[in-house]
Amino acid sequence: MRRDGLSAEEERFIESMGLFFERQGVPRIGGRILGLLLLAEKPLALGEVARLLRVSPASVSTNMRQLQASGLVDPASIPGDRRHYYVFNSAGWDHRLEMAVTAMDALSQLCQDALAMPELKERHNLREAVEFCGFYRQELAGAAERWRARFARRAGSQTTPPPPVPRQRRSGAR
């Protein structure tokens, strides 16, 4: 990344990230910010992100908060500088896996609750959904464990991944 702006290759990558994330239901600017932070070799201030992406600081601020909530961006500081800086959080990938596990747990619980109702207890599709959620959760948990092992071996990682995802609560319906 040049001091005066972005190279054509960097801009293409950033725009591609924006389009990719837009297809995932994230505002395009959020994907563009994430793309920029993936390329950045140092923390970037909000104003610098806005200047490089040619967007408003307010839009950057709003989307930066969403990216922080997703776990993919962390705040950073530079001693003696009062501006807000941000970096890509490599541990955010683990957070994404954790969010998927949480979503599967919620869907499974919703279907289990429906199966506990007398008029719905024999619904095949609900039972299959619970089975799928359990299978998918197990696969995600295994993937998260393998990722954590790989992440821990990587030298110089900037952050530590969060602790393992808690085990699924079991309800009586199945």
Amino acid symbol at 90: S
Q: Report, as an integer, the average pLDDT of 133-148.
A: 89
Amino acid symbol at 111: C
Contact assessment for residue 91 and residue 152, using Cβ atoms and an 8 Å cutoff = no
- pTM higher than the cut 0.75: no
pLDDT band (50, 70, 90) for residue 170: very low
SS3 15: helix
- How far is 99 from 131, CA to CA, in rounded Å? 19
pLDDT over threshold 80, residue 127: yes
The crossing angle, in degrees rounded to 10, of helices 57-70 and 28-39 is 80
**pLDDT for 3:** 65
Reference 31, options 43, 19, 39; nearest CA is 19
- Phi, psi (rounded to 5 degrees) for 82: -90, -5
Mean pLDDT over each residue of the chain, to the nearest integer: 86
pLDDT band (50, 70, 90) for residue 172: very low
Q: How many CB atoms within 10 Å of residue 24?
A: 9
Which of the pair, 134 or 148, is modelled with greater confidence? Answer: 134
What is the percent of the chain where pLDDT is above 90? 62
- CA 152 vs CA 54, 70, 83, 94, 162: distances in Å: 36, 21, 31, 12, 11
- Mean pLDDT is highest, among 55-59, 143-147, 152-156, for 55-59
**pLDDT for 2:** 67
Which of the pair, 2 or 51, is modelled with greater confidence? Answer: 51
The total number of residues written for the chain in this structure: 174
- How far is 68 from 72, CA to CA, in rounded Å? 6
**pLDDT for 42:** 94
